[in-house]
Amino acid sequence: MFSRVVITGMSVNTPLGDTLDSFLTGLLENRSAISQWRTIQSDNIYGKIGGDLGDYDYATKLAGLEERVPSEVFHRLRRLIRRAPWSTKLSMLLAVLSYLDAGLFDTDLDASCCATIVAGHNQNSNYVCGQIAEFDREPEYIDPLFSLHALDTDHGGSVSEVLQTKGPLFTVGGACASGNLALRLAVDEIRYRGVNHVVLVAPCLDIAAIDLQAMALMGAISYESFNDHPAQASRPYDTKREGFIPAHGGASLIIESLESAQRRGARIYAEILAVEANSDGNHLPQPSQEGQTRLMRLALDRSGVRPEEIDYINAHATSTPLGDIVEINSIQEVFTDHARRLKINAPKSLLGHTCWSAPTVETVAAILQMGAGCLHRSINIEQLDPQVSLDVCQTSNVELNIDRFMKNSFGFGGINCVAIFSRMDDG
């Protein structure tokens, strides 16, 4: 018998909001997170728009935690944040906030049975580029902790030190599927490795100007038509979509066994029924209908959920000409007649593409919408692509009672991961 696994804590940070309530409000108000880049120098590159958190006021957020967490936790957090790169600062804040949301500071848990899992790779790209530029100017002036801070493991190590979690620590990279792959590992740690709690952190990707230019040259991001109208640029399913919009954003989840959550009387946001992964055998960003279809069927089979029992799909839907249609066709193939009864929305139409953290950020969005009984509209669909025949919440928010939903994530490198969640009314 498998242990049942649930989510008991969440936190999020995007340009739409850095609390669960403000994030949900931004989604349901259909506000775009996309603007001109303020904190990335974009004068000499093609990509000039995105979701920008580079000037986020982390000091005020930190100060607001002083009376809410144990003093020793706050002092460790304050000490580590002072020297950490921007993205690592936000990772620590996200982890502490999800831990607080789960009520774990009030629990005498076994630190050796609490794992830390970080979703993503090459997290601190902008920081690394800045240090390389500094090295070219004057080698002695680089950050003396560069050899630590440049590593993805610095996120997990910093979170582990702040929270004093002493179970397994991993960094799980899989491009835009990283958040779901990290979730899969978290479930496996609880089911098979004796872990009771997992702190899953999906950091804000510290995007550099060179990343934006490379993605533009590859034709992956939008840069031709909407630089002067950034809020209109992310437009999944619209005939004028021309690529995804890179964005800052991160989230954290607390994952634990149902038995542990019930024993301590925790609030349960959702149960994780299945997280399955596969690959396309193709390193290029060319999504495969065969791979996506096979994976969605596998996730349904492993979860024990019939296709007609899924109420909602939180789509990958990046606003690329090929990707949006491949996913829609895959959904149609898997769900057949039920596909027309499904509700599908595209969080990236509002958030942009938060890249490695997208599955986790968008899972938080889906769970909050499930709790609210309302789905946000997929914005910027002025002319629906005629190849899209399913309900993608084009015209307005949709009131919906959601019992089970699917979260799709399909990353560069042909990396696919799909998760299925359910409501827990007795949580």
In a domain, 424, yes or no: no
Do 331 and 250 belong to one domain?
no
Query: The domain containing residue 290 runs over which residues?
Result: 274-419
Which structure tokens are listed for 257?
A: 């066994």
Kindly report the CATH number assigned to the domain that includes residue 79.
3.40.47.10
At residue 53, the pLDDT reads 98
Q: For 73-113, write each residue's pLDDT tens digit.
A: 999 999 999 999 999 999 999 999 999 999 999 998 899 99
Q: For 136-186, write each residue's pLDDT tens digit.
A: 999 999 999 999 999 999 999 999 999 999 999 999 999 999 999 999 999
Distances (CA, A) of 63 to 14, 23, 69, 150, 358: 19, 20, 11, 26, 27
Mean pLDDT of 209-219: 96
Do 295 and 224 belong to one domain?
no
Do 131 and 195 belong to one domain?
yes
In a domain, 393, yes or no: yes
Q: What is the DSSP string of 34-90?
A: -EE-SSS--TTSS--EEB--TT--HHHHHHTTTTTS-HHHHHHHHHHHHHS-HHHHH
pLDDT band at 67 (very low <50, low <70, confident <90, very high): very high
In a domain, 124, yes or no: yes
Q: Quote the Cα angle for 404-236-118, to 5°.
A: 60
Contact 289, 351 (CB under 8 A): no
